[in-house]
């Protein structure tokens, strides 16, 4: 018998896979109904009506077969309720309620004893009470994972039951809290911070987790001094270096939590910056470290600023305009008249060399150093007519079709588009801004990768 039922379900599945329309579900439901599978047939009749709410035959069948299914579920609920199979009875009633609600939304009313609603509420109360008592006991036994299982069962039916939310916070947070405290005692601040972050995602006021979170964050936080180059007022790169200094400060305050910039020190701009760049003055490095509690020094400078402007360069070419010429009353010929135009090209480049060095204030070692050319550029290429042109651009060709073999002709759409292409280059100020933004990314990456 089981083998036959399996074959029937397989046939239904194949039937539905070919088309997911209302009629296919209806036919599948009929097949299941003939095999005596009333419950399954009812679900398919419901699906059929949901896909086509105007189907009268699906509505009639759902009313008939659906009522049988609802009655079956009601009987199952009654039996399990009276035999104290609480969880099973709740699951059955949930299915009954869901099915009848969906049917009612399609104007198909299915009945079941309304006093079962009261029995359902009693089951919910009994179920939640039992699981709450178990969860409470498990929390006292410090079996927090097991307690969370009971709590999840309560939340399924009544999330606001008694102090369930408080029990959940304790069960979730206490293991993390204990682990964090142990990690802090062992100076494993990274692990502690991870555990405390988990607590923070749940609540901000569990015991003293907020204070411990800040403590573990502070213990991991790396402090560094950003040393601005001491440049002459005549240095062409001075304004760039000052702009970068401001951008770097802003980037650290917005993007980093475990890395802090010490910006209230007289060493941010120092004639000793060159000594730091050369990494030779150990006494200076240690003196600044002791005075500021810095973990790292970040030194940088900018050199070789270049602004290159190329063009616009014009090259002359000939286009051909398609023209229909009437020779007589019966003859119209197509001609291609030459039209002069220029191809205009130009480019603009803004660039400079950015050099940085990250020094470990404790070991005097250079942990990262790089000189990189940073640049932004813009280019234009467009077509312009040598004289005013008032014709239709779609009648122009970059070749004379009458004199060009079909094999070497090409679609002129892209070429025509160049007559309306961008003709103005970005200003050097715009390119400068883009280049500075690229440099800020280099700075952010170097800091996050090397200050650990």
| pLDDT 10s digits, 27-75 | 999 999 999 999 999 999 999 999 999 999 999 999 999 999 999 999 9
Decide which of 266 and 394 is more confident. 394
As a whole number of angstroms, the distance between CA 449 and CA 452 comes to 7
Q: What is the C-alpha separation between 399 and 402, in angstroms, rounded?
A: 9
Do 288 and 248 lie in a common domain?
A: yes
Q: Which of 253, 186, 175 is nearest to 209 (CA)?
A: 175
Please say whether the beta carbons of 67 and 110 come within 8 A: yes
Q: Do 258 and 360 share a domain, yes or no?
A: yes
pTM more than 0.75: no
Query: CA end-to-end span of the chain, whole Å?
Result: 68
| 399-412 mean pLDDT | 94
Q: Is the dihedral of CA 316, 321, 325, 330 positive or negative?
A: positive
Check residue 282 and give its pLDDT.
67
Helix (H, G, I), strand (E, B) or coil at 149: helix
**Same domain, yes or no, for 136 and 242?**
no
**Distance separating alpha carbons of residues 438 and 350, to the nearest angstrom:** 12
Mean pLDDT on 342-364: 94
- Whether residues 386 and 265 share a domain: the answer is yes
Largest CA distance in the chain: 108
Alpha-carbon distance values, 83 to 79, 88, 119, 123 (Å) = 6, 10, 13, 12
| Residue 149 resides in a domain | yes
Of 193, 220, 247, which residue sits at a domain end?
Answer: 220
Interatomic CA distance for residues 21 and 276, integer angstroms: 75
Last residue of a domain, one of 185, 220, 255: 220
User: What is the reported pLDDT for 287?
Assistant: 74
Instruction: Please say if the pLDDT value at position 133 is more than 90.
Output: yes
Strand 366-385 to 332-360 pairing:
antiparallel
Q: Which of 113, 139, 167 is the last residue of a domain?
A: 113
Return phi, psi of residue 160, to 5°.
-95, 15
> Is residue 229, in this structure, part of any structural domain at all?
no
**Residues 250 and 395 reside in one and the same domain:** yes
Q: What is d(CA 272, CA 372) in angstroms, rounded to the nearest whole number? A: 23
pLDDT at position 262 over 60: yes
How far apart CA 251 and CA 243 sit, in angstroms, is 12
DSSP assignments along 387-437, one per residue: S---S-GGGEESS-TTTS-GGG----HHHHHGGGS---PPPHHHHHHHHHH
Tell me how many domains the chain contains: 3
Q: What is the pLDDT of residue 54?
A: 94
Q: What average pLDDT does this structure show over 84-110? A: 95
Residues 205 and 281 in one domain: no
- What's the CATH code of the domain at 94? 1.25.40
Are 37 and 156 within one domain? no
The token pair at 109 is 């009313």
User: Does 284 map to a domain?
Assistant: yes
Residue 120 within a domain: no
Residue 143 lies in a domain: yes
Q: How far is CA 319 from CA 12, 343, 394, 397, in A?
A: 67, 11, 12, 6
Containing domain of residue 208, as a range? 130-220
- Clarify whether residues 283 and 417 are in a common domain: yes
Looking at every residue in the chain, the average pLDDT score rounds to 89
Residue 245 lies in a domain: yes
Asked whether residue 125 is domain-assigned, the answer is no
My answer on whether 24 and 139 are in the same domain is no
Count Cβ atoms within 10 A of the Cβ of residue 394 and give its class: 0-12 exposed, 13-18 middle, 19 or more buried: exposed
Strand 222-227, strand 259-261: pairing = parallel
Helix axes 164-185, 189-202, angle to 10 degrees: 170
Cβ contacts of 128 within 8 Å, gap of 6 or more: 154, 157, 158, 161, 162, 164
Q: Are residues 162 and 75 in the same domain?
A: no
Q: Are residues 298 and 428 in the same domain?
A: yes
The verdict on residue 124 lying in a domain is no
Q: Are 290 and 378 in a shared domain? A: yes
């Amino acid at each position: 018998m089981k083998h036959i039922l399996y074959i029937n379900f397989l046939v239904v599945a194949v039937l539905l896979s070919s088309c997911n329309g209302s009629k296919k579900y209806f036919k599948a439901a009929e097949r299941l109904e003939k095999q005596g599978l009333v419950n399954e047939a009812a679900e398919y009749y419901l699906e059929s009506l949901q896909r086509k709410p105007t189907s009268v035959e699906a509505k009639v069948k759902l009313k008939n077969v659906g009522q049988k299914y609802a009655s079956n579920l009601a009987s199952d609920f009654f039996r399990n309720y009276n035999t104290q199979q609480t969880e099973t009875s709740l699951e059955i009633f949930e299915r009954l309620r869901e099915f009848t609600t969906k049917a009612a939304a399609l104007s198909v009313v299915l009945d079941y004893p309304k006093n079962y609603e009261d029995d359902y509420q009693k089951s919910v109360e009994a179920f939640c009470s039992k699981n709450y008592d178990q969860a409470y006991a498990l929390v006292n036994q410090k079996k927090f994972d097991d307690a969370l299982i009971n709590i999840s069962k309560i939340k399924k039916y009544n999330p606001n039951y008694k102090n369930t939310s408080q029990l959940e916070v304790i069960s979730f947070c206490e293991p993390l809290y204990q682990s964090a405290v142990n990690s802090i005692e062992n100076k494993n601040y990274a692990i502690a911070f991870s555990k405390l972050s988990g607590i923070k995602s749940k609540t901000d006021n569990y015991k003293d987790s907020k204070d411990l979170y800040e403590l573990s964050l502070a213990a991991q936080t790396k402090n560094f001094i950003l040393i601005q180059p001491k440049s002459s007022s005549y240095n062409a790169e001075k304004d760039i270096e000052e702009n970068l200094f401001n951008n770097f400060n802003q980037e650290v305050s917005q993007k980093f939590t475990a890395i802090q910039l010490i910006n209230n020190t007289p060493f941010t701009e120092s004639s000793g910056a060159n000594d730091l760049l050369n990494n030779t003055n150990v006494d200076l490095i240690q003196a600044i470290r002791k005075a500021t509690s810095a973990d790292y020094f970040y030194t940088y400078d900018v050199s070789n600023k270049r602004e290159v402007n190329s063009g616009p360069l014009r090259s002359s070419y000939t286009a051909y305009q398609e023209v229909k010429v009437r020779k007589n009353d019966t003859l119209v010929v197509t001609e291609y008249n030459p039209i002069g135009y220029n191809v205009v090209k130009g480019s603009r480049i803004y660039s400079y060399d950015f050099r940085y060095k990250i020094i470990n204030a404790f070991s005097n070692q250079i942990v990262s150093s790089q000189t990189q050319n940073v640049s932004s550029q813009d280019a234009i290429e467009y077509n312009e007519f040598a004289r005013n042109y008032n014709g239709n651009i779609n009648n122009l060709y970059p070749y004379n079709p009458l004199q060009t073999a079909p094999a070497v002709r090409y679609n002129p759409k892209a070429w025509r588009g160049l007559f309306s292409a961008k003709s103005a280059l970005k200003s050097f100020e715009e390119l400068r801004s883009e280049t500075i933004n690229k440099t800020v990314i280099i700075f952010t990456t170097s800091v996050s990768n090397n200050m650990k």
